[in-house]
């Protein structure tokens, strides 16, 4: 399978490397031409200088798949450009951090021209190249079926860590909720480790305690393991690294549904406060 990957920064770089390890043909395009050339040298990816050039590298006898890994502010412009260059039956996948309502709107726009749209909510442990990704997918079943080989190649747990969770918008909605949970849990770990560190009449080896928790307890998991690697209580969630938009969207959704989410709401306020300091 050959497809176009538009945007090669950050997670997209790891995705391209994992796909190339499995001999998936990736046609990459990035506004930084040097980035694409470097990745091509290291992985065998086909680097192109423009989206138009990338599309020309795709097979003409099957649906073209264009996977966007762009800042959300650039997605609408790119979709507008693709509307003039893709044909009935082609498919656009958005794997960036988008509001699910924007994904629904984009999907409706593309469907008017018979172009499929899939929103992919992608999460990773920081080891996506070697371990793979967790992917929640929204879109029509027929479109998802076409792109399934890519999801399986990217997914962790030998290709099983992905699922088609619903209609267009569902993938990004699930990713939004995941981000709210992850950020809240990381902060809870930091606060708990700070309590251990602050106990003046008992000296705890924070890494030892956390390592013990990470083996067989209910707290075991990658979030705790990452926390250990960052040395315990000093690893309070970095407000700059948190996707503030996703926390905000999750909190607004909770208000709309009249669902109480005190942990996620508190984390939003904490991140806002930290960024204002």
Q: In terms of domains, do 21 and 121 share one?
A: yes
Q: In terms of domains, do 152 and 181 share one?
A: no
CATH code for the domain in which residue 232 is found: 1.10.1040.10
Secondary structure (3-state) at 2? strand
Residue 224 confidence class, pLDDT cut points 50, 70, 90: confident
Name the pTM for this structure: 0.90
How deeply is 149 buried, as exposed, middle or buried, from its count of CB atoms within 10 A (0-12, 13-18, 19+)? middle
pLDDT on residue 127:
81
pLDDT on residue 29:
96
Q: How many domains is the chain partitioned into structurally?
A: 2
Q: Which of the pair, 52 or 226, is modelled with greater confidence? A: 52
| Residue 249 backbone dihedrals phi, psi, to 5 degrees | -60, -40
Give the whole-angstrom CA distance, residue 199 versus residue 238. 24
pLDDT on residue 242:
63
pLDDT on residue 90:
97
Which of 166, 184, 219 corresponds to the end of one domain? 166
Mean of pLDDT values over 157-169: 96
Give the whole-angstrom CA distance, residue 199 versus residue 56. 63
Q: Could you list the residue range(s) of the whole structural domain that residue 189 is in?
A: 175-276
Residue 1 confidence class, pLDDT cut points 50, 70, 90: confident
Q: In terms of domains, do 211 and 181 share one?
A: yes
Q: In terms of domains, do 128 and 209 share one?
A: no
Q: Which of the pair, 26 or 220, is modelled with greater confidence? A: 26
Which of 166, 195, 220 corresponds to the end of one domain? 166
Residue 150 confidence class, pLDDT cut points 50, 70, 90: very high
Q: In terms of domains, do 10 and 104 share one?
A: yes
pLDDT on residue 211:
85
| Distance spanning both ends of the chain, measured CA to CA | 48
Q: In terms of domains, do 22 and 146 share one?
A: yes
Whether residue 237 is predicted with pLDDT greater than 60 in this model: the reply is no
Mean pLDDT value across the chain: 91
Least confident residue range of 41-45, 166-170, 233-237: 233-237
Which of 166, 183, 204 corresponds to the end of one domain? 166
Residue 29 is inside which H or E element, if any? strand 25-29
Q: In terms of domains, do 161 and 182 share one?
A: no
Q: In terms of domains, do 105 and 225 share one?
A: no
Mean of pLDDT values over 16-22: 96
Q: In terms of domains, do 116 and 224 share one?
A: no
Which residues is 27 bridged to in the sheet?
Answer: 4, 46
Q: What's the CA angle centered on 135, arms 20 and 130, to 5 degrees?
A: 40
């Amino acid at each position: 399978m050959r497809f176009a990957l538009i945007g090669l920064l950050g997670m997209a770089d790891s995705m391209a490397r994992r796909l190339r390890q499995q001999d998936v043909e990736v046609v990459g395009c990035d506004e930084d031409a040097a980035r694409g050339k470097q990745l091509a040298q290291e992985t065998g990816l086909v680097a192109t200088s423009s989206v138009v050039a990338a599309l020309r590298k795709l097979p003409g006898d099957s649906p073209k798949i264009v996977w966007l890994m762009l800042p959300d502010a650039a997605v609408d412009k790119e979709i507008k450009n693709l509307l003039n260059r893709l044909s009935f039956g082609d498919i656009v996948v958005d794997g960036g951090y988008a509001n699910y309502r924007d994904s629904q709107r984009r999907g409706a726009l593309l469907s008017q021209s018979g172009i499929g749209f899939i929103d992919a909510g992608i999460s990773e442990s920081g080891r996506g190249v070697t371990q793979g990704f967790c992917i929640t997918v929204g879109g029509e079943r027929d479109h998802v079926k076409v792109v399934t080989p890519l999801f399986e190649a990217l997914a962790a747990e030998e290709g099983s860590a992905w699922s088609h969770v619903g209609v267009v918008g569902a993938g990004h909605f699930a990713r939004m909720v995941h981000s709210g949970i992850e950020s809240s849990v990381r902060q809870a770990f930091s606060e708990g480790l700070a309590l251990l560190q602050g106990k003046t009449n008992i000296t705890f080896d924070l890494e030892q305690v956390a390592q013990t928790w990470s083996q067989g307890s209910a707290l075991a998991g990658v979030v705790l393991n990452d926390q250990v690697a960052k040395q315990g209580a000093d690893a309070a969630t970095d407000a700059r690294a948190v996707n503030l938009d996703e926390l905000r969207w999750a909190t607004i959704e909770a208000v709309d549904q009249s669902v109480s989410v005190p942990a996620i709401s508190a984390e939003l306020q904490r991140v806002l406060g930290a960024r204002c300091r």
